[in-house]
Structure 1
Amino acid sequence: MKLNLKTKDILFILLGAAIYAFGLINFNLKNQLAEGGVTGLALIFYNLFSIDPAWSNIVLNIPLFFAGWKFFRRNEFIYTLIGTFSLSFFLFIFQHVITFNFLLNRDLLLAALFAGVFIGGGLGIIFRYGGTTGGSDIVARITHKKFGWAMSKTMLVTDASVIVLSIVYLDYRQMMYTLVGVFVGSRMIDVIQKGAYAGKAVMIFSKKSDEIARSIIASLDRSVTLIDGKGGYTRREMNVLYCVVSMNEVFRLKNLIQEIDPDAFVTVNDVHEVFGEGFTYDKAKTE
């Protein structure tokens, strides 16, 4: 099977692994906060037996690689190897070579928040560019293929089990702050996965759809799609307008619609990622 590896993807996976490792070492390990998955097990081994997490992360993932390689596409498997080994490399770098002193024992809330931001941010970048860091992701793929279990639920159970197991070296206070960090991390992953260019999708049902469409194009410089529609009650044919606008244009669009047709029915929905003309590149550059 032909590989289609991209330099950009690899570089961003390396960047994500560096950010992840920085957060894990400086905010989790140094402030005795736990983590889920294989990296969480690595922290347990470090606190109980002083085993370097850079090495335990690799050792724990190797059997998972052998068990799960056939469940990955070849590109995904290579990216997973890159993500896992680069994570261990940066764990070693930030623990032994480039060290920082972020001891926040007296403010564990701050430590948990920064842990979530860095770990979630790093993982979000890795996932966005097709990589993983091994661990619970491999377990989730195996159980999904073998037993049909939902991957998200398997990952949740696996990570939660590791966090609960971390009670062997944590007290209840540290455990509670760990959960705060995990929650923040999950939100960070969502933000990065959904993309930087968010917007609002608007559907407009109006008798004056043509006039509204012309006004949107002229006033907001946004394209509008006309969709053939039919009223379920009136059985009257009409054009439904669909357009996507940036967050700061929603108020202007509402006012525009109200001026033309106060009786228009409008729905506004979140759009988590937008790319294309008018959002991620300029129209003038394509002409």
Structure 2
Amino acid sequence: MKTIQFFARILLGNFLLAVAVNMLVVPSGFIAGGSTGLALIIMHWARLPYSTIVTGINLCMFAIGFFFLGKKFALTTLVSTIVYPLFLSMTAFLADIELVSDPLIAAIMAGGLMGCGLGLVIQSGASTGGLDIPPIILERKFGWSVSVTMNIMDLFILVYQITYSTPEQIICGLTLVFVTYFVMNQIMTFGKAALQLMIMSARHEMMRQLFVDTLDKGATLFWIEGGYTKKEAKAICAIVARKELYEVQKAIYEVDPEAFVVVSKVSEVRGRGFKPLSHRPGKIG
């Protein structure tokens, strides 16, 4: 079952990417980052079909990944290397369909689709087979930050496209990039995000019992010192799901109406009561 879900997410992710590129990005001439942007640059000068260029880029990246990162990593890119160009060819007819006339709306829609596609693929623990491979190699060989290297590469690709793009294409392209990364991050943390409660209360022992015994939640107590009173006390730190926040806050104020509670968002939580520690996205078997 896990294997089916693994491949289903990768296939759906690559399909959404292909639809977004053929139906919205290429016809509108938006600037873009990553392998999409590199393919658009090559297509601008070489006038080759977009799917052909992407196939060439993916094959090159697959070979580099296989040589520098080994067989195991290369296999995670193999599916995308094959199916993404295939989906691009299958959906090429979408370039003739004018879905929306407003380029800004088209950019937002394209960003949403591409963000969903990238999020599904990366959440599975696989790779899109594009320009994310060189930064990974540089990180393993020289310790360079993957995110910083990818951002620098994207910056060069975007800046080069600006030299031959219209102001409208540039603005819409930057909107596309922003929406893509925003949606991708939301997809990658979907179902994993939670809320952290930091509770300062004079009734810390009763609060600990509330979380451990009544709410069946983990709680961590640690010593703090009040900045105004300069008195030592104990604070309680606990993690709860979003949907539980109202009921938990209600229970807290029933124990101590004067409790000071700070609520902050955490992107991912693993462990007892949440995603298991042994879970690894994209694991086949």
TM band (smaller chain): 0.7 to 0.9
Give unpaired runs (5+ residues) of structure 1: 281-287
Where 1:225 maps in the other structure, the secondary structure is: coil
1:132 aligns with 2:127: yes
> CA 1:75 to 1:15, structure 2 compared with 1: closer, same or farther past 3 Å?
farther
Cα deviation digits, residues 136-186 of structure 1 (max 9, x gap): 211112222343321111111212222222246521210111000100000
1:27 aligns with 2:24: yes
Give the drift of 1:12: 1.0
TM-score, length basis structure 1: 0.81
**1:58-137 pair list within 5 angstroms:** 58-72=55-69, 74-96=71-93, 101-104=97-100, 106-137=101-132
Q: Distance in 1 between matches of 2:198 and 2:137?
A: 41
* Alignment partner, residue 15 of structure 1: 12
Cα deviation digits, residues 220-272 of structure 1 (max 9, x gap): x7323243433445456x5x544333334434433432332234333322132
8 Å CA contact 1:30–1:103 kept in 2: the answer is: no
* Alignment partner, residue 38 of structure 1: 35
Alignment root-mean-square deviation, CA: 2.9
Where 2:39 maps in the other structure, the secondary structure is: helix
8 Å CA contact 2:62–2:77 kept in 1: the answer is: no
Identical-residue share of aligned pairs (%):
29
Q: Distance in 1 between matches of 2:97 and 2:156?
A: 30
Q: Distance in 2 between matches of 1:151 and 1:198?
A: 23
Q: How many residues align?
A: 271
Give the drift of 1:202: 1.3
Where 2:78 maps in the other structure, the secondary structure is: helix
* Alignment partner, residue 271 of structure 1: 266
Q: Distance in 1 between matches of 2:154 and 2:123?
A: 20
* Bigger Cα displacement from structure 2, 178-187 vs 81-90: 81-90
Match of 1:145 among 140, 146, 170: 140
Where 2:262 maps in the other structure, the secondary structure is: strand
> CA 1:38 to 1:231, structure 2 compared with 1: closer, same or farther past 3 Å?
closer
1:182 aligns with 2:177: yes
Q: Distance in 2 between matches of 1:215 and 1:222?
A: 6
Where 2:32 maps in the other structure, the secondary structure is: coil
Where 1:136 maps in the other structure, the secondary structure is: coil
Higher relative contact order (CA 8 A, sep 6+): 2
Give the drift of 1:133: 1.7
8 Å CA contact 2:111–2:177 kept in 1: the answer is: yes
* Alignment partner, residue 50 of structure 1: 47
8 Å CA contact 2:111–2:176 kept in 1: the answer is: yes
Cα deviation digits, residues 12-50 of structure 1 (max 9, x gap): 111100011111111101222122122222223334443
The code of the aligned residue for 1:225 comes to G
> CA 1:263 to 1:103, structure 2 compared with 1: closer, same or farther past 3 Å?
closer
Where 2:263 maps in the other structure, the secondary structure is: strand
